[in-house]
């Protein structure tokens, strides 16, 4: 983002305000959705989907990842791979136990 012109930055202010509004609305939606009569699996899926959308907005627009350099995306891609791996470790441990 460091190479963007003053005009680009002025335009992006509107985007930041739009992202802020979306984040605020999605926060309210997250809380409202928690009061729905859903199973744990459904609530889990819904809550994490909304959180992931919010996370993408913050990372993509506020942290400029949508327009960032390849070197940064490569570092984050590798990190994301290991993140997914450690998130699946508990699941693998439990299914392994169940098999015994």
Partner 1 sequence: MEIPYNVEERQDTGMFNAKLGIWLFLASEVMLFGGLFSAYVFLRMGDVTGTFISGSSELNVPLATLNTLVLISSSVTMIMSWVSLKLGEQKKFKQYLGSTLFLATVFLVVKYFEYTAKFHHGIFPDTSTFFAIYFTMTGLHMIHIIGGMVVIFYFLVPGSSMMNTESVRFTNRIEIVGLYWHFVDLVWIFLFPVLYLL
Residues that bind partner 1 (CB under 8 A): 1-3, 6, 9-10, 12-13, 16-17, 20, 23-24, 27-28, 30-31, 34, 40, 43-44, 47-48, 50-51, 54-55, 58-59, 62-63, 69-72, 75-76, 78-80, 82-83, 86-87, 89-91, 93-94
Provide the 8-state DSSP code for 81: H
Could you give the C-alpha distances from 3 to 17, 48, 64, 82, in angstroms and in order? 22, 34, 12, 31
Minimum CB distance to partner 1, residue 14 (Å): 11
């Amino acid at each position: 983002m460091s190479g963007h012109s003053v005009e680009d930055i002025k335009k992006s202010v509107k985007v930041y305000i739009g992202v802020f509004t979306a984040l605020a609305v999605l926060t309210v939606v997250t809380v409202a959705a928690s009061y729905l009569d859903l199973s744990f699996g459904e609530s889990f899926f819904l809550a994490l989907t909304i959180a992931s959308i919010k996370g993408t907005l913050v990372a993509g627009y506020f942290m400029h990842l949508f327009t960032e350099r390849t070197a940064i995306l490569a570092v984050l891609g590798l990190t994301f791979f290991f993140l997914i791996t450690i998130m699946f470790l508990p699941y693998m441990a439990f299914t392994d136990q169940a098999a015994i």
